[in-house]
Amino acid sequence: MECNIAAGIETRKAAPSNLAQRIIAQTSKGYHGPAILMLEDGTVFYGRACGASGTATGEVCFNTSLEGYFEVLTDPSYAGQIVTMTYPQIGNYGIDPADVQSAYPGSPERGASTPALRGMVVHDMCPTPSNWRSAISLPEYLKRTGIVAIEGVDTRALVRHLRDNGAQKGIISTEVFALAELAQLLEQAPSLVGENLVRTVSCDEPHPYTAADLPANHAFASAPAPEQAHYRVVAYDCGIKRGILEGLVRVGCELTVVPWDTPAEDVLAKHPDGVFLSNGPGDPDAVEETYSQVEKLIGKVPLFGICLGHQMISLACGAEMEKLKFGHRGGNQPVMNLISHRVEITAQNHGFGLVFPSLGALVPELSGGVSEHPADGDLRFWVERGVAPVVENERFGRIRLTHVNLNDGTAEGIQLLDQPAFSVQYHPEAAPGPTDAHYLFTAFTRLMDGDADYLNIDIAKDRLAGWVFATE
């Protein structure tokens, strides 16, 4: 009886006053009951429910994109996470299901193209969208797909807390408000580190993806794919985004998408012109079944990796990974391209990163005469010198650092100089985000063509490729 009384008191503490509830009920938002967010360190935020009812646990992170909330919501790389949107109002242009980013084909446990994230945190959720493409409001979509969400949170305070203290586990609930019980549930939740989340978002069987699969209602903005595909590509699905599939098809690739743990021998038996390694969620060290196959593929076929795919190539080369304090998530991450000496504004979503010095010792004659890695690990050292350093890797020869994050000096891209392979840590498909990095899809086709200088591309011109407005 005492527990029930205590729980009732906690619920009343979480809920707005009766007067506030009556006022909210008269607005277009309506009143949907209280919700609570608790972090692993005991920090608590109270708010209002704006999605499905229930309780969800996951790693709390934040995304700094100003738009594209639906693409963020359906990005499989967010499996196991609770996403905080830093832009104050979310949902004001609604949702068009054609923009979904999950390419997950569906299973008995989870439906096709459904969100993989655990929960969502926003400051203000808009229930009455206004846009000619909108088919459903964001709150209604969250309810239909079972995603627990909370609004009314001071997201500025939450983001500052995560920046200062690092990403950490959290719990959202619309039904449990006793802090001791929430803390117990949170303690029992698994950590993101060491957990293989890729297996939860990858396809079970190989399947094709061709120009016929491109969404017809994107034709108002996207240029058509080539009438004839020029490259046969096998794409490892580690949680692949639909926008990335579309980007590959639009540069002339005919894709066979395969599960995350497909043996290298099966891939090579398809005689592909190239192999693509996709984005995906969680701890890259836990995805050994993929990077062990990548090690067998390097040198046998041209390789291109994005995000987790970049980490798979790096691990195949014997590199170490590090857990970033709060990760890179958003559509406004500045990256220096050490080859072109131009800055790219990029879309990113990852919480782990490559420790570049772990790939090998520097080759001084190819690294501006420098023989030692910067002691503090800040790779902006190379940006200041205008040098793309090269290391000698024990497994695959020379490897060049090609891209550096200008916010924190972490590695964003590498190129194997003695093998046909390259990778970047960010997302070039602009879903959501800028188009600065579109050239990477073009670079992949040039690599498959045998062009040794495949990364030497005018990125300012190529960023318009694939879009209708490029020809207007």
Active site residues: 307, 427, 429
If phi > 0 it is left, if psi is from -120 to 50 it is alpha, else beta; for residue 145 that is: alpha
CA angle 197, 198, 199 (to 5 degrees): 90
C-alpha distances in Å from residue 447, one per residue of 315, 422, 444, 458? 21, 9, 5, 16
Selection from 471, 469, 348, 462 nearest residue 408 by Cα: 348
Structure tokens at 430: 């602009």
Residue 385: HSE in the Cβ half-sphere, 13 Å Cα cutoff:
14
Phi and psi (nearest 5°) for 42? 95, -5
Structure tokens at 279: 């984005």
> Length of the chain in residues, anyone?
472
Q: Work out the number of other CB atoms within 10 angstroms of the CB of residue 460.
A: 11
Contacts of 65 (CB under 8 A, 6+ apart): 72, 85, 87, 330, 331, 332, 347, 432, 433
| Cβ 412 vs Cβ 312: under 8 Å | no
- Percentage helix, strand, coil for the chain under 3-state DSSP, each rounded to 5: 30, 30, 40
| Cβ 399 vs Cβ 310: under 8 Å | no
Contacts of 367 (CB under 8 A, 6+ apart): 387, 389, 390
Structure tokens at 320: 């170490």
